[in-house]
Structure 1
Amino acid sequence: MGQRAAIYARVSTADQSCERQLRDLAGFAERGGYEVVEVFRETASGMKANRSARAEVMKLAQARHIDAILVTELSRWGRSTQDLLDTLNRLSGWRVSVVAMSGMTFEVDTPHGRMMATMLAGIAQFERDMLSERVRSGLAAARARGRKLGRQTGDRPKSDRLAPKVLALVAEGRSYRWIARDLGLSKNTVAAIVGRARVHTAPDIKIAE
């Protein structure tokens, strides 16, 4: 029997389907002699950090129930170069590789895998440097236009400025939800304002949540 593998397919939006990826990966696994242990599909943006199906694949890898993860392309697995590198390093510790149908196989404990990991690390650092440079350039351009950045001296957070209004509306019997919607705050912020007021005042405030 070949290596045990998990198939992972992902699409970005609900109007897309994983079926083609799954069909292609099933054929790829058969040709490569992989024993497919489990199949995972996910609908999530590529930049979304919390991907439940991918987390389940990582649990299988950590438990040593699989030897490889099969994907159509690396962008389906990694959120960014750094994320890809981080997960590859974790998987390497469990001796699990990521195999893309494009022919890319990442096994950090092999010379080829170490070379690819080094390249990825360089690309990830380049991406961070470019992002930092863009942020600095944007701030400099904003200052050149005379724009004041950050909170100015004497400014108060929106929640502090609106606290008296929040408490007045609470006293009128308005609900947290209604106040939040009316003042452009979150319900949690309204609750925090009321909570702070309760700490500093003796009478209980009656609230319709």
Structure 2
Amino acid sequence: MGQRAVIYARVSTSDQSCERQIQELTAFAQRGGYELVGLFKETASGTKSNRSARNQVMALAQARQINAVLVSELSRWGRSTQDLLATLDQLAGWKVSVVAMSGMTFELETPHGRMMATMLAGIAQFERDLLSERVKSGLAAARARGQKLGRQLGTRPKSDKLAPKVLQAVEEGRSYRWIARDLGISKNTVMDIVKRHRKKS
């Protein structure tokens, strides 16, 4: 038999199914002569950091029980370019490659793999720079509008300022829901104000 491989399939939401990915990857594995030793699927958004199925695949790779991870496309495996590059690097250290269904194999020990890693690292840095630029421009725009950022020293939270009105309304027999709607705050905030007042008294 060929290389020992596992299938990893992921969908973003519970109303989606991994079955199509699994069927296509199983056929792909047969065509490529891979020996399938595991099948892992999970539902998790692309940015979610806690992926138990992917963690299990990484554990198998670290234990040298597999040679390849088969995915329909790289976006199913990596949460971001940076995450993809980091996990590819880990897998390379364990002599495990990630193979996309397009037939593209990512092995960082080969010249092609190193070229891809360099490109991915550049894209990851670009993404970080772009995010930083957006944050900075957003802060600058907010300051230009005269918006004060962060909590200012000497200021009190909105709930503290509204406490007298809340307590007065409670004394008048108003419901927490009515007070919250009237003052534009949440019912929980009203309850917190009342709770703090009762502790003091």
TM-score range, shorter chain: 0.7 to 0.9
The equivalent of 2:27 in structure 1 is 27
Moved >2 Å (runs of 4+): 155-159, 180-186
May I ask how many residue pairs the two structures share in their alignment?
Answer: 175
Selected match of 1:183 from 169, 185, 189: 189
The equivalent of 1:105 in structure 2 is 105
Distance 1:25 1:80 in 2: 22
Q: Tell whether 2:140 aligns with 1:140.
A: yes
Aligned partner letter, 1:89: D
The equivalent of 1:11 in structure 2 is 11
Aligned partner letter, 1:182: N
Distance 2:190 2:87 in 1: 39
Secondary structure of the 2:92 match is helix
Distance 1:185 1:37 in 2: 56
Structure 1 residues 6 and 151: CA distance shift in structure 2, 3 A? same
Structure 1 residues 113 and 148: CA distance shift in structure 2, 3 A? same
Q: What's the offset of the Cα at 1:158?
A: 8.1
Aligned partner letter, 1:67: N
**Aligned ranges 1:1-209 → 2 under 5 Å:** 1-155=1-155, 182-183=188-189
Distance 2:45 2:86 in 1: 19
Q: What's the offset of the Cα at 1:185?
A: 9.7
Q: What's the offset of the Cα at 1:154?
A: 1.5
Distance 1:184 1:48 in 2: 34
Distance 2:117 2:91 in 1: 12
Distance 1:46 1:155 in 2: 39
Q: What's the offset of the Cα at 1:150?
A: 1.0
TM norm structure 2: 0.79
Structure 1 residues 181 and 86: CA distance shift in structure 2, 3 A? farther
Deviation by residue 1:46-65 (Cα, 9 ceiling, x = unmatched): 11010110011000000000
Q: What's the offset of the Cα at 1:155?
A: 3.4
Distance 1:112 1:184 in 2: 62
Deviation by residue 1:109-148 (Cα, 9 ceiling, x = unmatched): 1111011000000000000000000111111111111111
Secondary structure of the 1:61 match is helix
Distance 1:32 1:184 in 2: 64
Secondary structure of the 1:8 match is strand
Aligned partner letter, 1:41: K
Distance 1:123 1:145 in 2: 33
Larger Rg: 2
Secondary structure of the 1:21 match is helix
Secondary structure of the 1:45 match is coil
Q: What's the offset of the Cα at 1:151?
A: 1.4
Aligned partner letter, 1:151: R
Q: CA RMSD in A?
A: 2.7
Percentage of identical aligned residues: 73
